[in-house]
Chain A
Amino acid sequence: MKHMLTAVLSAAFLAAAASPGSAAGGDVFEAKGCVACHYTDGPAREKTIDDQLAKKGPELWYAGSKFQKDWLAGWLADPKPIRPMKFNSLTEENPGDHPKLDGADVAAVTDFLMTLTTDEVEAGKVKPKKNPKGRQIFIKKMPCSGCHQYVGRKKKISGGRSGPSLVEAGLRLNPDWILAYLQKPKVFKPVKMMPVFTGLLSDKDMTNVARHVASFKPKK
C-alpha cells in the first residue's frame, strides 16, 4: 500500500514536471515572486488614484488577451523597458531591472499567462494596417502622440514619455485588445493617467486608430 502511494505520488510529480503546462507556469509565477508585483485574477481592483499608485507592476489578469505570445516569450527571457519612465513615476527613468526568466520557465510562464483571457475582447475586429485616418487621430486630432512613443517619419522615434511606448505595439499587443482597451476603459483600467475617449472618438475612429497602432513595428 505504502509502495503504491509512493509510486502514484512520484508519477504525479513526474507528470507535473514533464509537461510545462499552464499549471506548472502558475507555480513558477508564484515561486519566482512575480505575484509580489502583478495580480492575475480579474476583474480590475483599482478604484482610486491611490489604488493605482500603490501597484508595483501592471495587472496581468487579461495578459492572454493583451499580448502576442511570441513577443511575451521573448520579453520574459530578455525584458527591455516598455514604459520610458519608471512605473508610476514622472521623475525617474525606467531602470530596466525587470526580473528575467530562463530555460523551461519561459515557456511555462508564457503558457500560463496566455491562459489569462477575458471575453471582453472581441476577436477579428481589427486588421493592422497603416491608415491615414488612424494616423491623423494619433498624431494630430487627438493627443495620443503627446504621451506615447511611436516610429515617426524617417523611422525616427518620436512622441511623449508618460505612457507605455507603442514603438513595438504591432509585435507586442493583440490588435483587437487595443480597440477593446479604448472602448471599455472601465473594464481594463478604471483609473489611469490616459484620458477616456469614449464619447469623443466614434467606434469607427477607435477602430482606425487601433489599426494604425497595431501596425507599429520597430525599425529594422
Chain B
Amino acid sequence: MKKLMTIATFAAFVFLLTLAPATASETEKVFKFYCAQCHGLTGKGDGPNVTKDFPVSPRNFTNAAEMNKLSDADLKNVILDGGPSVSKSPMMPPWGKTLTAEQVDGLIRHLRTLCQCEGKQG
C-alpha cells in the first residue's frame, strides 16, 4: 500500500513537472503571437508596429514601477476590453473575443514574470 502511494505521488509529481513548463511555454507562445507585434518579443514596448507615427507607446512590461500601479484585475480588464475600457488608448486592442480565459490568465502571470512585480493588491 505504502509502495503504491509512493508510486502514485511520484507519478503525480512527474505529471505536474511536465504540465507546468508546458503551460508556461504555451503562454509565451501566445504572448509572442498576439502581443509582441506591439509590445515586443521581450515585452519592452518595441514591437514592429511601433514606428514614429505610432500615437502612444505600448506599455513596457519590464518597467516594474509602472506595472506595479496595476492590479491583476486591471490587467485582465484591459486585455479583455482594450485600452478605452480603462481610459487608455484604443491602440491597445480588446482581446476578449480572441483569447480563452486560460490564455488571459496565463498572460497575466507572464506579465508578472516580465515585470518581476506583484502589482497593486486588491
| Residues on B with beta carbons closer than 8 Å to the beta carbon of A52 | 33
| Residues on A with beta carbons closer than 8 Å to the beta carbon of B97 | 195-200
- Tell me the bound Cα distance from A90 to B82 in angstroms: 22
CB pair B47–A143 under 8 Å, yes or no, is: no
18 contacts between A and B (CB under 8 A): A49-B29, A49-B30, A49-B33, A85-B48, A141-B90, A143-B82, A143-B90, A143-B93, A146-B38, A146-B49, A146-B91, A160-B37, A160-B48, A160-B49, A160-B54, A193-B34, A195-B98, A200-B97
- Tell me the bound Cα distance from A49 to B30 in angstroms: 8
Least Cβ–Cβ distance between B119 and chain A, in angstroms: 24
Q: Is A76 an interface residue (CB 8 A)?
A: no
Within 8 A of B (CB), among A132-157: 140-143, 146-147
Q: Is B53 an interface residue (CB 8 A)?
A: yes
Bitwise, A195-211 to B at CB < 8 A (1) or not (0) is 11111100000000000
Which residue of chain A is the closest to B82 with respect to CB atoms?
A143
- Tell me the bound Cα distance from A196 to B21 in angstroms: 28
The prevalent SS among residues of B at the interface is loop
* Number of A-B residue pairs at CB separation under 8 A: 66
| Residues on B with beta carbons closer than 8 Å to the beta carbon of A91 | 41, 48
Within 8 A of A (CB), among B71-98: 82, 90-98
| Partner-A contacts on B (CB < 8 A) | 29-30, 32-34, 36-38, 41, 47-49, 51, 53-54, 82, 90-98
Residues A140 and B47 in contact in the complex (CB < 8 Å), given A196-B97, A198-B97 = no
- Tell me the bound Cα distance from A118 to B22 in angstroms: 38
CB pair B48–A195 under 8 Å, yes or no, is: no
- Tell me the bound Cα distance from A146 to B48 in angstroms: 10
- Tell me the bound Cα distance from A53 to B29 in angstroms: 11
Residues A143 and B34 in contact in the complex (CB < 8 Å), given A90-B47, A200-B97 = no
| Partner-B contacts on A (CB < 8 A) | 49-50, 52-53, 84-85, 90-91, 140-143, 146-147, 158-162, 193, 195-200
Q: Told that A84-B48, A198-B97 touch, could you supply 11 new A-B pairs with CB distance under 8 A? A: A49-B33, A90-B48, A91-B41, A140-B90, A143-B93, A161-B48, A161-B51, A162-B47, A195-B93, A196-B97, A196-B98
Which residue of chain A is the closest to B37 with respect to CB atoms?
A162
| Residues on B with beta carbons closer than 8 Å to the beta carbon of A146 | 38, 49, 54, 91, 93
Most buried by A among B29, B33, B82: B33
Which residue of chain A is the closest to B30 with respect to CB atoms?
A49
Least Cβ–Cβ distance between A176 and chain B, in angstroms: 22
Most buried by B among A143, A146, A147: A146
Which residue of chain B is the closest to A89 with respect to CB atoms?
B48
| Residues on B with beta carbons closer than 8 Å to the beta carbon of A143 | 82, 90-93
